Structure 1
């Protein structure tokens, strides 16, 4: 059974936006995740934008999972069904263990918002080097759905009966 805390314990988060069109000034989803993490009491230790390329995505995430100060990586974008959407292909080889329930739960929640179009969402999550990685679609609405309904509660050590806090690096 996971150890449960009676108090909030902040996590150290890196945020990656996958986009061939967005820059820092118009990275609305990346900004949303950064602001939501700060508002929840977490620390954002790094943020980057990479093009839709599986090797660029994998290189950035690999660098973060090797750093002791990064406990969680939030990836937005690159999870759709177009040829350029390569986040799952980039991340799956890195995972020591996949968190299958994240994609399933995200699509279930997303179905309530966008109907059967959620079939084209390839949201994934996993653990690599005791770093928790979540990859979600790049729209601000999808990021909000993932953050508010799944990620934020699972990063909170007070969530019962279990959460991911005891599984990430200290």
Structure 2
């Protein structure tokens, strides 16, 4: 889909969250991919954090950002699989005002073309809480690239046509 260059680009303030028991900033490659892509696109990195796969920790970090007027979008990586420690989708769903069902569906469709039926193990999800967009991607580098390059880069760009998430932001908390 085309960009309407007659519309001025609107940089969004995006927080990046890595959900992992083992990662640090030094080896958080998936989080860094998201940071690199969003800043290259012209958006602003509002904050970045790493939290363990613990519901109270994840809930606290997400709630802090949802309440922060300087964070418009949260993108997380990790914790979307099927193991007992993978709790990201459950925490996201507990915070949503509205789920964006199509985000997870679209992510899996795109992923299927790349990794086949292995995409069934992804529980990528998206929604809105307190006027803040929230997107949970799997923890692999490829998943972060696919999610950003094929969905989020367009939907978070106000110039993308025929419509996009960015232009709806003022009306999310009507």
TM range (shorter): over 0.9
CA distance in 2, matches of 1:114, 1:56: 31
Moved over 3 A (4+): none
Hey, what does 1:30 align to over in structure 2? 31
In structure 2, the gaps of 5 or more residues are none
Hey, what does 2:13 align to over in structure 1? 12
CA distance in 1, matches of 2:113, 2:55: 30
Q: Does 1:70 align with 2:68?
A: no
In structure 1, the gaps of 5 or more residues are none
Hey, what does 2:86 align to over in structure 1? 85
TM-score normalised to structure 2 length? 0.93
**How many residues are aligned here?**
167
Deviation sequence 1:8-58 (CA, Å, 0-9, x none): 110000000000011110000111101111100000010000001122111
Q: Tell me the CA shift for residue 160 of structure 1.
A: 1.0
CA distance in 2, matches of 1:133, 1:169: 16
What is the aligned-residue RMSD (CA, Å)? 1.3
Deviation sequence 1:110-163 (CA, Å, 0-9, x none): 111111111110000000111000001011110000000000100000111110
Hey, what does 1:148 align to over in structure 2? 149
